Amino acid sequence: MPENLHLVTELAIILIAAGLFTILSKAAKQPAILGYIVAGFLVGPHLGLFPQFSAEAIDEWSEIGIIFLMFGLGLDFSFKKLLKIGTNALITAGTTCIGMFIVGITLGSLLGWSTMEGIFLGGLMGMSSTTIIIKTYGEMNLMGKPYAPQIFGALVFEDLIAILLMVLLSAMAVTGEFEGKEMLMGILKLVFFLILWFLVGIYLIPLILKKAKKFLNDEILMIVSIGLCFTMVVLANLAGFSSALGAFVMGSILSETVEGKRIESLTGKIKDLFGAIFFVSVGMMVDPAVIAQYWPVIILIAASAVIGILLFSTFGTLLSGQGTNNSIHTGFTLAQLGEFSFILAGMGCSLGVMRGFIYPVIISASVVTLIATPFIIKLGDPVADWVDRKLPARVLAFLNPKPETGKNSKAEQNEWKRLLKYYFLRIALYSVVTLAVAVACDTYLSPILNSILSLPPSVINWIDLIITLALISPFIFGMVVSGHTVRTSADKLLASNPSRRWPLLALICLRAILATSFVVTITVYHFRLVWWAVLILCVPAVLLFVFIAKKSASRITRLETTFLVNLNSKEESERKAAPVSTEINRKLSDYDITIRNFTISPEFRYIGKTLREMPFRKDSGINIIKILRGSKSIIIPGGDETVYPGDVLLAVGAKTQLDRFAGMIAELSDIQPSEDEEFTVEPLTITETSHLCGKMLRQLDMRKNSCMIVSMIDKGGHHIANPSPELVLTAGDTVWIAGERSSVEWYLSE
């Protein structure tokens, strides 16, 4: 056979085997990944059926597969989503990973493995399978369950932890020992480059895509996206990171652009293709002789992973205050070894710190857990019911979250959290850019000045310092000033309690000290003198910096505005497509009330029945506030309104209520229908003279005016989503009225 056909032959064997065994796995109601791994096992070199597959060929196919797999994972990832997920999912993921890390090290020690092998085992045992869980939840119609957001949030954090482990464990493998300082520097280096790449990418890539938008048909956009992916892979390798990290970062950057969904759709089939190639290459590395020899170890690792992840993730979710039901379902869902287990195990073998037999052992253990995943998930319901029946009421009351009470609203209670999050985020972002510019100046500016200027070294040093300070001054200025979010939160906190000015003043002083430290450090670096000389030099350096910073204030404002426009361009595009829902969701976001569209399919069992006949309100607690039927818009529909196929229902409620409703509908809408600009939701505070005061909601009969009350905060600070018709309104209550704009304005003006 000609030499240049080896690649084609290998690819043909891989894809035909993958296709055949995927069909068989689907017929057996097993995950597609299992079919890929079995296909790789059968065509791999260990059985001798296809001897042309060498170890080098398998490694090459695996590397390409990992790149596209991680690129696709990045496209489905969002750094902004990470900030919004909150600490609950982080607690779950962190507890699971730390607990399983300890289990892995202990298990490795019991098996007689080396310390490094135990560390790698501990790292990979905490990684659940995002692919399998998403696929299984879709097939089992569990996407709308109240515990689903917690699970997917935990998976996002697990992916991020896995990226961090890839960097740390590779550094440990090179040094051969655990160095606390080296580990810290590795983490700082990773965080530095992640932030820098994200900032530069979000600033430049949307501008490039916007300029070239009229030329970007599907073909060109796909080529450009894949080209950017491989460019970031090269940059990551140059910075000392893995190809997988570079692909993941570029995917996450592109996901924040207006074209993110389009890119994900265009590259989805390519990701599926090379993802299949990756899992087939994983199966190729499985040696049947190793399985026969080490099957007790395989069973032990699989059992330890399932039981350990189940217990630690359940415990972590309980710690985050999600209650027993959500915690148990989270634990039973996450109890398997996922794709990152393959990647981390392969990395350990390629770095020579894990013996060759361990890789097929890990793969085999993972396959066992993947096969068991659907059955384990189904156990969640009976176990949760059993726990609710058996645990004493006192214990259940302690474990389950309690309703919030107090005079302050949820929004006010979160102001400090919001302020501190954006305060430190702003400092981190501007610090990274400042440090990057300073390092670039030290690396490139000094040699350039020395080559083009024939001046004394001290003079060149001064010129170098002045240029460096001029270049970093806009970013230092951005670090010192407050952003809009920080200022808004600070104003609210001061308005409610003037004594808070002292901690706020301390935060101002902290960032001023940090900014001054940058200037002083750079000055000291350029002039290595005794302390008193340093102080003398630093005074004019700080004064020079203040002068330059004031002059460059407009420049940093423009840079920040451009960055924020690019960062929020996707949300702005969605807002223009659905202005009413977006604005209402923004207004109600602090009260856990939102609006979601649901499309009724022809198979829906309540077709032809009225809203009153459907168990929407009873079983989920939501309210239907509008029905879109073609070009017709029915605002605040009555109970006698009939539902037809293709109707788009606008439902309002708390997130958990909407999740339950989604489970009932079983088909979320991807359609973004045109919206009626005359529809709105506005707040109203009940006064003593209001005709609403002292009446039950049922007595008001607001539906006849195309209005309804969808949310309420009583004067005690308690929040009530979709209040009961028997609820009596009293002076001081704040209600949210949804309906036609003219009718809502009438209630507001009465």
Q: What confidence score (pLDDT) does residue 471 get? A: 79
User: What phi, psi does 253 have (nearest 5°)?
Assistant: -70, -50
Most confident of 97-101, 174-178, 618-622, 720-724: 97-101
pLDDT at 595 over 60: yes
Among the residue ranges 109-123, 284-298, 324-338, 601-615, the one predicted with the least confidence is 601-615
Q: What confidence score (pLDDT) does residue 182 get? A: 62
Band of residue 669 on the pLDDT scale cut at 50, 70, 90: very low
User: To 10 degrees, the CA torsion angle through 48, 53, 54, 58?
Assistant: -120
Q: What confidence score (pLDDT) does residue 111 get? A: 87
Q: What confidence score (pLDDT) does residue 431 get? A: 82
554 or 91: which carries more pLDDT confidence? 91
- Of all helices (H) and strands (E), which one includes residue 709? strand 707-713
- What is the mean predicted confidence (pLDDT) over 564-573? 66
Instruction: Please say whether the beta carbons of 78 and 305 come within 8 A.
Output: no
For 578-749, CATH gives 3.30.70.1450
For 3-378, CATH gives 1.20.1530.20
SS (H, E, C) 337-388: CCHHHHHHHHHHHHCCCCCCCHHHHHHHHHHHHHHHHHHHHHCHHHHHHHHH
Band of residue 312 on the pLDDT scale cut at 50, 70, 90: very high
pLDDT at 405 over 50: no
pLDDT at 421 over 50: yes
Task: Examine domains 3-378 and 578-749 and report if their fold is the same.
Answer: no
Q: What confidence score (pLDDT) does residue 584 get? A: 56
Summarised one tens digit per residue, pLDDT across range 527-536 is 665 555 555 6
Distance, in Å, from the CA atom of 89 to the CA atom of 107, rounded to the nearest integer, reads 26
pLDDT at 583 over 70: no
Among 191, 34, 205, CA closest to 569: 205
- Of all helices (H) and strands (E), which one includes residue 675? none
Band of residue 251 on the pLDDT scale cut at 50, 70, 90: confident
Among the residue ranges 59-68, 354-363, 709-718, the one predicted with the least confidence is 709-718
Summarised one tens digit per residue, pLDDT across range 516-526 is 777 777 777 77
378 or 598: which carries more pLDDT confidence? 378
Distance, in Å, from the CA atom of 609 to the CA atom of 611, rounded to the nearest integer, reads 7
**Encoded tokens for 679:** 């529809």
- Beta-carbon contacts of 539 under 8 Å, excluding residues fewer than 6 positions away, are none
**Encoded tokens for 374:** 């659907």
pLDDT at 378 over 80: yes
Q: Is 664 exposed, middle or buried (0-12, 13-18, 19+ CB in 10 A)?
A: middle
- DSSP secondary structure string, 436-503? HHHHHIIIIIHHHHHHH--S-HHHHHHHHHHHHHHHHHHHHHHHHSPPHHHHHHHHHHHHH-GGGHHH
Question: pTM for this structure?
Answer: 0.65
Tell me the chain's radius of gyration from C-alpha atoms: 29
Q: What confidence score (pLDDT) does residue 559 get? A: 67
Instruction: Please say whether the beta carbons of 666 and 137 come within 8 A.
Output: no
The residue extents of the domains of the chain are 3-378, 410-566, 578-749
Band of residue 368 on the pLDDT scale cut at 50, 70, 90: confident
Band of residue 120 on the pLDDT scale cut at 50, 70, 90: confident
pLDDT at 664 over 80: no
Distance, in Å, from the CA atom of 646 to the CA atom of 335, rounded to the nearest integer, reads 38
Band of residue 672 on the pLDDT scale cut at 50, 70, 90: very low
Q: Hey, which residues does 739 pair with through a beta bridge? A: 680, 707
**Encoded tokens for 418:** 């919001």
**Hey, which bits of 177-275 come out as E strands?**
none
- What is the mean predicted confidence (pLDDT) over 320-348? 83
**Encoded tokens for 151:** 């699970």
- What is the mean predicted confidence (pLDDT) over 412-418? 65
Distance, in Å, from the CA atom of 192 to the CA atom of 188, rounded to the nearest integer, reads 6
Distance, in Å, from the CA atom of 413 to the CA atom of 417, rounded to the nearest integer, reads 8
pLDDT at 703 over 70: yes
Q: What confidence score (pLDDT) does residue 407 get? A: 42
pLDDT at 33 over 70: yes
**Interstrand relation of 734-740 and 679-685 (parallel, antiparallel or unpaired):** antiparallel
Distance, in Å, from the CA atom of 76 to the CA atom of 69, rounded to the nearest integer, reads 11
- Which residue do the tokens 């065509």 mark? 43
Distance, in Å, from the CA atom of 121 to the CA atom of 114, rounded to the nearest integer, reads 10
pLDDT at 674 over 50: no
pLDDT at 456 over 60: yes
pLDDT at 671 over 50: no
pLDDT at 668 over 50: no
CA 275 to chain CA centroid, Å, is 21
Among 146, 137, 157, CA closest to 96: 157
Q: What confidence score (pLDDT) does residue 673 get? A: 44
pLDDT at 439 over 50: yes
78 or 531: which carries more pLDDT confidence? 78
Q: What confidence score (pLDDT) does residue 406 get? A: 44
Summarised one tens digit per residue, pLDDT across range 477-525 is 777 776 666 667 677 667 766 776 777 778 777 877 787 777 777 777 7
- DSSP secondary structure string, 238-257? HTT--HHHHHHHHHHHHHTS
pLDDT at 696 over 60: yes
CA 364 to chain CA centroid, Å, is 29
Q: What confidence score (pLDDT) does residue 588 get? A: 54
Task: Name the packing angle between helices 531-551 and 457-480 (round to 10°).
Answer: 60
pLDDT at 636 over 80: no
Summarised one tens digit per residue, pLDDT across range 649-661 is 877 776 666 766 7
- Beta-carbon contacts of 532 under 8 Å, excluding residues fewer than 6 positions away, are none
Distance, in Å, from the CA atom of 110 to the CA atom of 296, rounded to the nearest integer, reads 13
**Encoded tokens for 634:** 């029915």
**Encoded tokens for 253:** 């950057």
Q: What confidence score (pLDDT) does residue 522 get? A: 77
The pLDDT mean for the chain works out to 75
pLDDT at 223 over 80: yes
**Encoded tokens for 366:** 């993972």
Distance, in Å, from the CA atom of 147 to the CA atom of 333, rounded to the nearest integer, reads 10
